[in-house]
Amino acid sequence: MVVLNKKVIKMKKVKALVLRAAGVNCNKESVKALEMAGAARVDEIHINVIKKNSSLLKDYHLMVIPGGFSYGDYVGAGKILANEIKFILYDSFKEFVREGKIVIGICNGFQILVKTGFLTLDESLYDQSFSLIENDSRRFECRWVHLKINTGSLFFKKLPEVIYLPVAHNEGKFVAGQQENIHNLKDQNRVGLYYCMDDGSVCRGQYPFNPNGAEKDIAGIINSKGNVLGMMPHPERFILSGQHPFYQSLKWNKMKIHPFGLEIFKNAVRFS
């Protein structure tokens, strides 16, 4: 609780859910990030448990769909888990989003949100407007990238305009099918993050600053209501200053390190 002008204000105890499935491998890091961000309770729940009792979702304020290779990505990245949500749990997930609860899909989770239609242009239809396809490099990209963020989004409050996070994916190239879709995303202020140069300037698809060839350097998008974020970079892998790749040299030069990933989770908890 918080005391303000001798009045006691009770803070909401945020309960967070980290969705699990076979092949998901960033769940523990996501749990730790949410705990460090101040969530009162964080539960890992397997998709099979929710399929048996979808009313469980009503107990939570915040959901993270973490990265990994759900079901081995055997029929496409995130496709099987996306189908389980879309064809079995659609109404429950839709209600979760409509109530304004927070959802973050990271890497494989981003792929899932796109394929379920929870990140689409026409949210009355919940169809698939975008996709995430094989990297232009034709290989798994595991590196740190600079990102220019949408500072108006609740997820990026109090963050600088340019942040630094790691990526780790094989199918991270954001494509919109038609250029009109990209224009609509921008017009609606729904691009959450762009890959950029280290000074924040546009990289125009230049590798490795744009690690996958994403159209218009798009690294993440948000829904129209602003409570659902899908992003390819991994914020849960930068929640401690010691995780920065240049930690030792920065520490030696007495430069402060900001774990930008943790701040994203703090914002998610704060606005839940």
What secondary structure does DSSP assign to the chain, as a single string?
-EEETTEEEPPP--EEEEEE-TTB--HHHHHHHHHHHT-SEEEEEEHHHHHH-GGGGGG-SEEEE--B-GGGGBTBTTHHHHHHHHHHSHHHHHHHHHTT-EEEEETHHHHHHHHHTSS-S-TTTT----EEE--TTSS-EEEEEEEEE-TTSGGGTT--SEEEEEEEESS-EEE-SSHHHHHHHHHTT-EEEEEE-TTS-B-TT-TTTSSS--GGGEEEEE-TTS-EEEESS-GGG-SSGGGSTTHHHHHHTT-----HHHHHHHHHHHT-
Q: Which of 107, 141, 171, 263 is catalytic?
A: 107
Out of 61, 146, 234, 244, pick the active-site residue: 234
Q: Note if 26 is an active site residue.
A: no
To the query of whether residue 196 is one of the catalytic residues in this protein, the response is no
Q: Which of 95, 104, 39, 93 is nearest to 66 (CA)?
A: 104
Catalytic status, residue 244: no
Residue from 29, 171, 236, 263 carrying the catalytic annotation:
236
| Tally of CB atoms within 10 A around 99 | 11
Residues labelled as active-site residues: 107, 234, 236
